[in-house]
Structures are given as structure tokens and as C-alpha cells.
């Protein structure tokens, strides 16, 4: 049976890395049908809307989207499209794996850490941000709820179980932020009791930063609130060599959007220098989500082997290839697998 997904190529390098990704998905014979829709600057220019209704409708209909990076214009009062999408579809879980690839310029080898970040509440609320009239006092609200904390922690444990992961670390700052972070931590402790098969520990966020840099191997899955997760997942991406290899999934009960963590890279757009791997790894996670785990694994293996052999890879990985030659090398490996 074929499955239709919404495909949003996006801005800047988006269309280039999306082309490479679709070529690989086709080589895997996934039986996917692509409903191409637009968002970002390209949509604003063509259709007068950063996030056209047709795009929202396509995501709602197909429930799964693969999304390239989107440029949100600075100034003009535009809300980030990514934030809008998270809110609209209540995509409460932001799942960001950081996995080492041999042959990259990373500080560590064999890192494999997944950050599960709460994506809808915490310190990133749109409402309640105020600045006093004299400009001297700025305030914002941090709001964590029992429901929001429980569903993200439960998501992390269920994900850990399904992926055979062994340990979950709940990251917090409950010693200072006694109510907001305290609620999250208490809920995490409660939920952890239901999952005796998975080791659970808790760690304060500042110490976590140090521990990640000093001894990242102690971490398996990290679950945390919005702001801490945003920062820690970038730190984890840094451990494995940067954003070029960092995929992200935004998952809710009604929809899931898979994307690269990096942006539209206007400095290299149109030059065919963009590394497509982050979006490809997001596509592999999407295949897992669609119960095509074996195909996801084949895609990851092809990426791993191609990078390891430095076969036609892009300049950021030390190669002389282009986005297209990189895709050629990947497609050959996928077909041979």
C-alpha cells in the first residue's frame, strides 16, 4: 500500500537537499507518494503567505511531512513558521538524535545520544512576554504542566523501549526553579517507576552540560523541558561534528514533521555545496515512524559507508563532491544493499 507524505522543500539549500533525499527514498522503493507543498520565503513570494493553508491542509491530511529549512523574515512581525507548525499540530515531542559518523571532524567517536525535548511549553510561551513602558523591566513566563510533562516523559520511555535503549536521564533545574522544573522532575520520577526495565537518573542542567563534554558516553536518552532541550540538543550535535548531520523530528498525536536541524544556509544556497545528510537522517527517522524500519536502517548504513569512504561527499565533510554527487554515491550504495 502506498503512503502519501507532504514534502516541503523550503528555502535556500532546501530544494537541493530535498532533491537528494527524494532520490534516496526512491532508490529504497519505499512506495511513498509525494505531495509537494510550499512554505517559507518561497511561499511568501509566490503565494503571499509564509505558511499557506494548502500546506497546513496537506500536513493535516497526510499526517507525516518531510520539511526542508525555512527562512523566517526578520522584522515585519512574522512568527517563526516552525513555531507555528508546532503549535498548530501540537507537536509536543522534539526528538533529536546525535550519532557519530566515522570520518567526520568530530571531537568524539561512537556517540549515540537522543534528546527528547518538550516542544510546546516551558520557557518558550508566546504569551506573557512583557516589557515595561520605560524599557527597564522585561518578563516572561515559564509554564510547565503535569499533562505536558507526563506526555513528554512517557514518550521518551516508550521510544526508549521501542528502540532498545537502556537509560533515560531527566534534565532539570528543580533546585532553583522549584515549581516549574520541580513539577517536571516529580512527574518524571513518577513515570519512571512504570518502566522498571529502563534505568532512570536525573541531572541538573548545568552539570549536564559539563558531563556531556567530559564524558558523553554516560548518556543514552535525555528527556527535558523546552529551553534546556533546545540548548542541550545543539550541544550534542556539536559532539558529533555539528549541524550537518543532525536530524530532528517534531511529533504529536495528530502529525509528525521530520526535518534537518540546520537552517536554509543562504551563504551556500544554489552552489550545490550543501550536505544532504541531516535531511536524509530525518527521512530515515521518518521511515522508522512509518514502520519501514529496515529501509531506514539501509538508508543510515548507506550514509555511514559513504561518509566513511569519503566517496563524493560535500566540502563540509572534507570532500570535493557536490550535493548531487553525494546523492549519486548514496543511491549506488542503497541499490547495492
Residues carrying an active site annotation: 124, 173, 206, 230, 234
**Which of ligand NAI, Mg ion, none does residue 53 bind (CB under 5 to 8 Å by kind)?**
none
Say whether residue 263 binds ligand NAI (CB under 6 A): yes
Cell of 330: 548514496
**Which of ligand NAI, Mg ion, none does residue 322 bind (CB under 5 to 8 Å by kind)?**
none
Which is nearer to ligand NAI, 5 or 257 (by Cβ)? 257
- For the CA atoms of 273, 274, 280, 285, the dihedral, rounded to the nearest 10 degrees, stands at 160
Site residues for ligand NAI, 122-161, by CB under 6 A, read none
Which is nearer to Mg ion, 122 or 319 (by Cβ)? 122
Question: Residue 245 Cβ, how far from ligand NAI at the closest point, in Å?
Answer: 9
Element containing residue 95 per DSSP (H, E): strand 93-99
The one segment of 51-59, 97-105, 197-205, 258-266 that binds ligand NAI by CB under 6 A = 258-266
Residues ≥6 apart with Cβ < 8 Å to 53? none
Dihedral angle sign, alpha carbons of residues 265, 266, 271, 272: positive
Say whether residue 9 binds ligand NAI (CB under 6 A): no
Cell of 192: 519512571
Residue with cell 548504513: 301
Paired strand residues for 33: 4
Say whether residue 303 binds ligand NAI (CB under 6 A): no
**Which of Mg ion, ligand NAI, none does residue 230 bind (CB under 5 to 8 Å by kind)?**
Mg ion
Residue with cell 509566490: 46
Say whether residue 244 binds ligand NAI (CB under 6 A): yes
Written in H, E and C, the secondary structure of 272-321 is: CCCCCHHHHHHHHHHHHHCCCHHHHHHHHHHHHHHHHCCCCCCHHHCCCC
Q: Report the residue from 169, 275, 306, 322 that binds ligand NAI according to the rule CB under 6 A.
A: 275
Question: Residue 274 Cβ, how far from ligand NAI at the closest point, in Å?
Answer: 4
Range 154-169 burial, b when 16+ CB lie within 10 A, else e? bbbbebbeeeebeebb
Say whether residue 72 binds ligand NAI (CB under 6 A): yes
Nearest residue to 106 (alpha-carbon basis) of 245, 212, 210: 245
For ligand NAI (CB under 6 A), the number of binding residues is 20
Which is nearer to Mg ion, 230 or 259 (by Cβ)? 230
Residues binding ligand NAI (CB under 6 A)? 13, 69-72, 82, 243-244, 259, 262-268, 274-275, 278, 316
Amino acid at each position: 500500500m502506498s503512503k502519501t507524505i507532504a514534502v516541503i522543500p523550503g528555502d535556500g539549500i532546501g530544494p537541493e537537499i530535498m532533491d537528494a533525499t527524494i532520490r534516496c527514498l526512491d532508490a529504497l522503493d519505499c512506495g511513498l507518494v509525494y505531495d509537494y507543498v510550499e512554505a517559507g520565503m518561497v511561499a511568501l513570494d509566490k503565494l503571499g503567505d509564509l505558511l499557506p493553508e494548502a500546506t497546513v491542509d496537506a500536513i493535516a491530511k497526510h499526517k507525516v511531512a518531510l520539511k526542508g529549512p525555512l527562512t523566517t523574515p526578520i522584522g515585519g512581525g512574522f512568527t517563526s513558521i516552525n513555531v507555528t507548525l508546532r503549535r498548530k499540530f501540537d507537536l509536543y515531542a522534539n526528538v533529536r538524535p546525535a550519532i557519530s559518523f566515522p570520518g567526520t571532524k568530530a571531537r568524539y567517536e561512537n556517540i549515540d545520544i537522543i534528546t527528547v525535548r518538550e516542544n510546546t511549553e516551558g520557557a518558550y510561551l508566546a504569551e506573557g512576554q512583557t516589557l515595561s513602558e520605560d524599557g527597564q523591566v522585561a518578563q516572561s513566563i515559564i509554564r510547565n504542566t503535569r499533562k505536558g510533562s507526563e506526555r513528554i516523559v512517557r514518550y521518551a520511555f516508550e521510544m526508549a523501549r521501542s528502540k532498545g535503549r537502556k537509560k533515560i536521564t531527566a534534565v532539570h533545574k528543580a533546585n532553583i526553579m522549584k515549581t516549574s522544573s520541580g513539577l517536571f522532575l516529580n512527574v518524571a520520577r513518577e513515570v519512571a517507576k512504570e518502566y522498571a526495565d529502563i534505568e532512570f537518573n536525573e541531572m541538573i542542567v548545568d552539570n549536564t552540560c559539563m558531563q556531556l563534554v567530559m564524558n558523553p558516553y554516560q548518556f543514552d536518552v535525555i528527556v527535558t523541558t523546552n529551553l534546556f532541550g533546545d540548548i542541550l540538543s545543539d550541544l550534542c550535535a556539536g559532539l558529533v561534528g555539528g549541524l550537518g548531520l543532525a536530524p530532528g523530528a517534531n511529533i504529536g498525536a495528530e502529525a509528525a514533521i521530520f526535518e534537518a536541524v540546520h537552517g536554509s544556509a543562504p551563504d551556500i544556497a544554489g552552489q550545490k555545496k550543501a550536505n544532504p545528510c541531516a535531511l536524509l537522517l530525518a527521512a530515515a527517522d521518518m521511515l522508522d515512524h512509518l514502520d519501514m524500519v529496515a529501509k531506514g536502517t539501509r538508508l543510515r548504513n548507506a550514509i555511514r559507508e559513504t561518509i566513511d569512504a569519503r566517496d563524493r561527499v560535500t566540502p563540509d565533510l572534507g570532500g570535493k563532491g557536490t550535493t548531487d554527487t553525494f546523492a549519486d554515491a548514496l543511491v549506488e550504495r542503497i541499490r547495492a544493499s
